[in-house]
A and B are shown apart, each in its own frame.
Chain A
Amino acid sequence: MSLAAVSTKSIPPNKGGVMATLMILAPLVLLTICLLAKFDYIVVPSGGRGLIIAGLLLSLFATGMPISIALGLSVLTFMFTMTDVPIVTVSLKLFTGIEKFEIMSIPFFILAGTFLTHGGVAKRMIHFARTMIGHWYGGLGLAGVVSCALFAAISGSSVATVVAIGSILLPAMVEQGYPKRFGAGVIATSGALGILFPPSINLVLYAVATSGMRPIGPNGMPVNGASIGQLFIAGIVPGLCLATVLGVVTFYQAYKNDYPRMPKSTWAERGRAFLDSFWGLFLIVIVIGGIYAGLFTPTEAAATAAVYAFVVAVFVYRDIGFKDVPGILLNAASMSAMILYIVTNAVLFSFLMVSEQIPQGMAAWMTAQGLGVVGFMVLCNLILLAAGNVMDPSSMVLIFAPILFPVAVRLGVDPVHFGVMMAVNMEIGLCHPPVGLNLYVASGIAKMGISELTVAVLPWLLAMIGFLLVITFYPPLTLFLPHYLGM
């Protein structure tokens, strides 16, 4: 993370010698244990196998190597030394892991988002939001929440949202007399909203990671995973609620401190601003409407969205010219390849989880402890919040969904509800101190230190955690819309 690297210059060059040695030695020691076990010099008790997997994974993550490589290395090491799974099976998984048409919606959504993050789409969203609600208390802040929600939905990336909206809105807010920390807090937290709004790449990843697992439900019958369409529809209401919650926090602070308001816009201005941002927003309609009405599969919807985004960016908005297209394609391709590469290795990992029966073991342990659904959900949230500190959302969902999803289903949690709950966790993880990704990006834009920003995001962060509890323990909020639509 180059953004984090900026702050490392002040560290004395010889600091951390012991830690560095431990970081390199830990995976090597575990490798030695695996090799010793393979050649029968030591016997690993059955309970120790899960610990070895966890140890390998954590020690490799700790070295900062790419998450995909760490996943793949742990799985290969464990499979070759501790199991009798033939090598051919593993090779086959490498080939067939991403051979699913559903997964291919990810590159298309990324391409669509990349076309619309370049250029003036952010400006148009902000303008639209400002004309609608700019005259309320904390008008620009509220406009920030709304424009972040809109922009995050179509760009599909929280980092892109924080950069695009933040770099325009923050200077404008400071100029209007808002404290910088207020603006930075709004943008850093609202930028994460995109994970719940369709089309969300992380919800696609959840569907992909859990499809085909068919875990056993509480009544002994296998349960199907959640489909991309169901998850997209289910994310809408919680997304709107969370945006409202963030808006209320913004409004309340602005009201209390009497932050400036904007002059009220006329309906003519609003109309013009809406027409101007309409083309970008229509992308959401294409995807959701198309999938729900059964016009497209999610992947076809994504490809259509990518072509649509190209036409809008090049011919309607004219933000980019033909000469920019190759660069955008390359950017989108490398971003997609990075995610697909994690998916490939995560498929291997989930195969290992299934063959070692780790989720089943966890479910049995949970039931034996009498933790029940409530205990499990609290535990899930704690694990995910902790992981959200150090991992990006897509890796998180690919690693934790295969482990936690079967347990959740065993305890009777709805697959769609669990997916949306994970998404809210990811959103919080993005702006959660000490190392949320959005915090780093926002600190770069606002030129504020992380510790200062940590204080700045606190009101919104607490509200988000409160909202997480509601989502976790009140499933109808998530499930009523897909059920009402008969999905």
Chain B
Amino acid sequence: MFLKILDRLEEIFISLLMAGATLLIFVAVLHRYGSTVPFLFPYLHEIDMTWAQELCIYMFVWMAKFGAAYGVRQGVHVGVDVLVNRLGANHRFKVIMFGLLAGAIFTGTIAMLGGSFVWDLSGTEARSTDLDAPKWIVYLAIPLGSGLMCFRFLQVAWTFWRTGAVPHSGHHIGGVADEVPGLHPQGIETVPHFPSQETRA
């Protein structure tokens, strides 16, 4: 139950960051060109958008860290699996498990390094340039995101231990790889507007 809520929250969080950052930069561009229009100038001139760029960067850093954790759950992180795929199932299991645990160790280490870095930073008055936000809150993305990623690696490893299955979304690029025929039984959709035999030259 708790895990389901965490999963959903993670998905909603990264989707919102993606949408938010896009709109933010788009609005900033509109604002910049809007300010050159004489009759809009008095209104838009009042609004300061210089912080947009920095906020966008921070939103994407947070999205990258939490999205990477989501990616572990979905199996989107690409690796070089030429050799692994040549192994028999029993030995492949060992090597993949080694990879998953190495992932957990790495992300766990980063979470701890990041945590101590943020801890030290929280004692200082360091603030970001444009937003004037405390730096340690901005950088909290690293320990939190890496920690979640570590948890996801362990979760995937545990499922792999029990069921022998790792998440695979194929090549997620552009989100169409799920539609690769051959992976799904429904096969190739024929497109009606294509001319058939009678148009052969």
Contacts and interface: CB of A to CB of B under 8 A. Distances in A.
Chains A and B are bound partners: yes
Contact of A94 (B68, B113, B169, B189): B113
Contact of B82 (A16, A164, A435): A435
A7 B71 CA distance: 24
B28 to A, nearest CB: 8
Interface string A287-328: 000000000100110011011000000000000000000111
A110 B175 CA distance: 10
A11 B83 CA distance: 13
Contacts of A333: 14-15, 17-18, 63, 67, 70
Contacts of A65: 79, 98-100, 102-103
Interface string A96-135: 0011110110011011011001100001000100000001
A108 B99 CA distance: 31
Given A24-B95, A177-B200, A262-B195, A67 B79 contact: yes
B44 interface: no
Interface stretch (A155-163, A217-225, A355-363, A457-465): A155-163
Which of B56, B174, B181: most chain A Cβ within 10 A?
B174
A224 B60 CA distance: 26
Contacts of B61: 98-99
Contacts, number: 319
A367 interface: no
A412 interface: no
Q: Is the interface of B mostly helix, strand, loop or mixed?
A: helix
Which of B64, B99, B196: most chain A Cβ within 10 A?
B64
B163 interface: no
A447 B185 CA distance: 13
Nearest to A74: B106
A172 B199 CA distance: 12
Given A17-B91, A19-B91, A303-B26, A114 B79 contact: no
A61 interface: yes
Contacts of B53: 101
A37 interface: no
A437 B171 contact: yes
A390 B81 CA distance: 8
Contact of B95 (A63, A98, A263, A435): A63
Given A69-B77, A341-B77, A444-B183, A330 B113 contact: no
Interface string A247-273: 000000000000011110000000000
Interface stretch (A46-54, A85-93, A372-380): A85-93
Given A2-B168, A23-B83, A160-B173, A337 B21 contact: no
A444 B170 CA distance: 12
Categorize the interface residue count of chain B: 35 or more
Contact of A303 (B29, B91, B176, B195): B29
B95 A20 contact: yes
A338 interface: yes
A474 B36 CA distance: 44
A444 B182 contact: yes
Given A64-B84, A69-B77, A118 B25 contact: no
B5 interface: no
A341 B68 contact: yes
Contact of A101 (B57, B66, B99, B177): B57
Given A66-B77, A94-B142, A159-B177, A76 B67 contact: no
B100 to A, nearest CB: 8
A63 to B, nearest CB: 5
A304 B26 contact: yes
Contacts of A155: 174
A423 interface: no
A445 interface: yes
A155 B173 CA distance: 10
A179 to B, nearest CB: 15
Contact of B79 (A61, A175, A263): A61
A177 to B, nearest CB: 7
B18 A332 contact: yes
A11 B80 contact: no
A13 B88 contact: yes
B198 to A, nearest CB: 10
B67 A69 contact: no
B57 A104 contact: yes
Given A334-B71, A344-B64, A73 B86 contact: no
B193 A127 contact: yes
Which of B92, B105, B139, B176: most chain A Cβ within 10 A?
B176
Contact of B196 (A104, A111, A175): A175
A60 B79 CA distance: 10
B110 interface: yes
Contacts of B21: 104, 107-108, 303
Contacts of B88: 11-17
A456 interface: no
Contacts of A72: 106, 110
B154 interface: no
Contacts of A4: 81, 85
A409 B66 CA distance: 37
7 contacts: A19-B87, A95-B142, A107-B63, A170-B188, A175-B197, A331-B175, A335-B173
Given A159-B176, A330-B18, A333-B17, 12 more contacts: A1-B81, A1-B85, A8-B92, A20-B94, A24-B98, A67-B80, A90-B113, A99-B61, A167-B188, A263-B201, A338-B68, A341-B71
